[in-house]
Chains A and B, each alone.
Chain A
C-alpha cells in the first residue's frame, strides 16, 4: 500500500509534483502521463533520490522520511531504471548477489539467485557478464535484482521501451507474476498503453505534477480528460 499525502516537489521554480495525494492499494498500479507530468519524480521521491519540499510518503503505513536512500532497498523499495543499470563487469548472477549483499533474505544465497534468475527466465545466462547480455536480458536482470529478497514495492520506469513484440509479451507475463512471486506491489511507468492495460489493475494519471485521474485501468484510460491530456486526442467539436 503506497500512501502519498500532499506531496510537493520544487525544482527551482518548477513544480515537479504539485500537492499530490493518492492511496494506491492495488498489486499492480500503472502510472501514466505526458512528458514532464512528474512520473519519474514520484518514483525518485519513493526511492529517496528527491526529497519532497512538502508532504509525506508512506509504504505499508511506514513514513519514509527517516529512511536513507541506500537503506530503502533493505526496507523493500526497489526499482528498475529508464536507462538500464546492469553492471557490465559482473555476471547476471553476481548482479543479483550484489543486491542480496545489502538486503534481508530468507534462505541460502545460491538458491535465491537461482530463483530470481528462474523467475525472469535467465537461468541459462547466470554466468554471462553484463556486457555480453542483450538489451532484453539486461532488463530481466534488473527485474531479478528488484525482486530478490523481500521487496515490498517494485517500481519500473519504462521497462517496455525498445523491446520487440515477443520480448514485450514475456515482459507482461513477468510483471503480472511479480506480486505472486515475491509479494511486492508493482508501480509501473510506461508510455505503452497496451502494456499498462494488460498488466495494471488500477492506474494513476498525472499531468503537471497533479493527479487528474485514478481508478480501474480501463475506466481511467477511457476518461475524456485523460485522453485529452495524455493520449493527445482532442474531442472534435461535432
Chain B
C-alpha cells in the first residue's frame, strides 16, 4: 500500500510548503496584470472566461462521463442575457452576470434532457445540434449593444457593457475575473465533495449500480447539466464584460467542439485542465500572432494535441505537468539523498 493511497482523498491536508506555494502564486497573480501589456491583459481576460467554459465541459465529462458539445453555445446564451440585462436595466455587473448564468442554466437543462436517455456519440450529436441552433439564433439576432427593443440592437454606436465599478480598468477586471474563476471552482468542488459528487460518481460507474444504491439518476443528471449551463453562462457574462461587447459571428457550433476537444487536451480530470484549455484557446493563438505567425495554425496544433492526448496522455496537459513535477521532485529528492 503506497502512501498516496492512504492519504485522505477528500480531506484537506495542511502542508506548510503548500501554503507558501499558494501565497506565492496569489501574489504573482495579483502582480501579473501590472506586468502585462494591454494586448495580453485583454487576452488573459478572455482566457479566464474560457477556462470557466472549459470547467463546465470538464464537469460533465469527468464527473458523469457525458459529452456536451454545446458549452460554448451556452456561453453565448449567458453573454446575451448578461448584455441584455446590463444595457436594459443598468443593474450592477454582478446581477447581470448572475442573470446570464441563470438563463444559460435553464437552456443547459434543456440541452441535458436528451442525456436522460442517451449517452456517448448520440448525446454528443444532439448537444452539437443544440449548439447549432444557438448559433443560428445568435447570428440572426446578434448581441444586445445598448439599442431599444427586446433585442437591444443599436443602429448607430455600439455601447460597451458596464464593468463592475470596483474593476473598471483592464488590470482590475483581470483580478476580478480571477476571483470569479475561483468562486466557480469552489462551486464545482463543493458539489464534487458532497452528495451530488458521490451520486455522479455512481452514475459514471454504471446506471444500474447507481439505481441499486438509490440514486435518482434523472435528478442528478439534470442537475449536472444545469450547473454546467450556469458556469458557461457566467463565462459568457465575464467575456462580455471583458471585451465590452460580443460579436454575433463568433459563436459557430465548431467553437463548442473546440472547447470540448481542448478540455480533453488540457486534462478534464484535473483542476488545472480547464485553465490549460483556456490558455490554449485564447493565449496560444495570441502568442502566435505576437510572433507574426497566423493564429489559425493553432487549430492544426490542437488537432495534433488531441491525437497526442487520446493516444498517449489520457490525463491531458495537466496530467503531464503533474507527471513532470513528480519526476522533478524525485530527481531533486534523489539528488539530496545521494549528497
The interface of chain A, by Cβ under 8 A from chain B, is 47-49, 69-74, 78-79, 81, 85-91, 94, 97-99, 101-103, 127-129, 132, 145
B168 in contact (CB, < 8 A): no
For A85, the chain B residues whose CB sits under 8 A away are 205-206, 208-209, 212
State whether A98 touches B215 (Cβ < 8 A).
Answer: yes
B10 in contact (CB, < 8 A): yes
A206 to B318, CA, bound (A): 53
B202 in contact (CB, < 8 A): yes
Q: Is the interface of B mostly helix, strand, loop or mixed?
A: helix
Select A94's contact among B198, B204, B214, beta carbons within 8 Å. Answer: B198
A103 to B210, CA, bound (A): 13
State whether B198 touches A101 (Cβ < 8 A).
Answer: yes
CB distance from A140 to the nearest CB of B (A): 16
State whether A87 touches B215 (Cβ < 8 A).
Answer: no
A90 to B201, CA, bound (A): 7
CB distance from A40 to the nearest CB of B (A): 12
State whether A88 touches B212 (Cβ < 8 A).
Answer: no
For A72, the chain B residues whose CB sits under 8 A away are 212, 214
Residue pairs across A and B with Cβ atoms less than 8 A apart, 29 shown, are A49-B208, A70-B210, A70-B217, A71-B214, A72-B212, A72-B214, A73-B212, A81-B209, A81-B212, A85-B212, A87-B198, A87-B204, A87-B205, A90-B198, A91-B10, A94-B10, A94-B201, A97-B198, A98-B198, A98-B202, A98-B213, A98-B215, A99-B213, A102-B213, A102-B214, A127-B7, A127-B8, A128-B5, A128-B6
A10 to B276, CA, bound (A): 52
A89 to B270, CA, bound (A): 13
For B265, the chain A residues whose CB sits under 8 A away are none
CB distance from A190 to the nearest CB of B (A): 19
For A70, the chain B residues whose CB sits under 8 A away are 210-211, 214-217
CB distance from B122 to the nearest CB of A (A): 22
Find the residue from B201, B213, B215 having the highest chain A CB count within 10 A.
Answer: B213
Select A87's contact among B202, B212, B217, beta carbons within 8 Å. Answer: B202
Encode B181-224 as 1/0 by CB contact (under 8 A) with A: 00000000000000100110110111011111111110000000
B89 in contact (CB, < 8 A): no
For A78, the chain B residues whose CB sits under 8 A away are 212
A86 to B209, CA, bound (A): 8
CB distance from B104 to the nearest CB of A (A): 28
CB distance from A59 to the nearest CB of B (A): 15
Query: For this complex, into which size category does the number of interface residues on chain B fall?
Result: 20 to 34
Select A102's contact among B10, B204, B205, B215, beta carbons within 8 Å. Answer: B215
State whether B206 touches A103 (Cβ < 8 A).
Answer: no
For B209, the chain A residues whose CB sits under 8 A away are 81, 85, 87
| Closest B residue by C-beta to A131 | B5
A90 to B217, CA, bound (A): 17
For B217, the chain A residues whose CB sits under 8 A away are 70
A23 to B204, CA, bound (A): 36
State whether A73 touches B208 (Cβ < 8 A).
Answer: no
For B195, the chain A residues whose CB sits under 8 A away are 101
A74/B214 contact (C-beta < 8 A), A91-B9, A98-B199, A101-B198 known: yes
For A89, the chain B residues whose CB sits under 8 A away are 201, 204
State whether A128 touches B198 (Cβ < 8 A).
Answer: no
A74 to B202, CA, bound (A): 16
Find the residue from A47, A85, A145 having the highest chain B CB count within 10 A.
Answer: A85
CB distance from A222 to the nearest CB of B (A): 34
CB distance from A28 to the nearest CB of B (A): 20
State whether B201 touches A145 (Cβ < 8 A).
Answer: no
For B9, the chain A residues whose CB sits under 8 A away are 90-91, 94, 127, 129
For B204, the chain A residues whose CB sits under 8 A away are 87, 89
B35 in contact (CB, < 8 A): no
State whether A101 touches B212 (Cβ < 8 A).
Answer: no
State whether B214 touches A103 (Cβ < 8 A).
Answer: yes
CB distance from B333 to the nearest CB of A (A): 23
CB distance from B262 to the nearest CB of A (A): 23
| Closest B residue by C-beta to A155 | B212
For B198, the chain A residues whose CB sits under 8 A away are 87, 90, 94, 97-98, 101
B1 in contact (CB, < 8 A): yes
The 3 closest A-B pairs by CB, nearest first: A73-B214, A102-B214, A85-B209
CB distance from B281 to the nearest CB of A (A): 27
For A101, the chain B residues whose CB sits under 8 A away are 195, 198-199, 214-215
State whether B1 touches A128 (Cβ < 8 A).
Answer: yes
For A128, the chain B residues whose CB sits under 8 A away are 1, 5-6
State whether B211 touches A49 (Cβ < 8 A).
Answer: yes
Which of chain B's residues 234-254 have a Cβ closer than 8 Å to chain A?
none
A192 to B202, CA, bound (A): 29
A73 to B211, CA, bound (A): 8
For B210, the chain A residues whose CB sits under 8 A away are 70
| Inter-chain pairs besides A89-B201, A129-B5, 14 sampled, C-beta below 8 Å | A48-B211, A70-B215, A71-B214, A85-B205, A85-B206, A87-B204, A97-B198, A98-B201, A101-B215, A102-B214, A103-B214, A127-B7, A127-B8, A128-B5
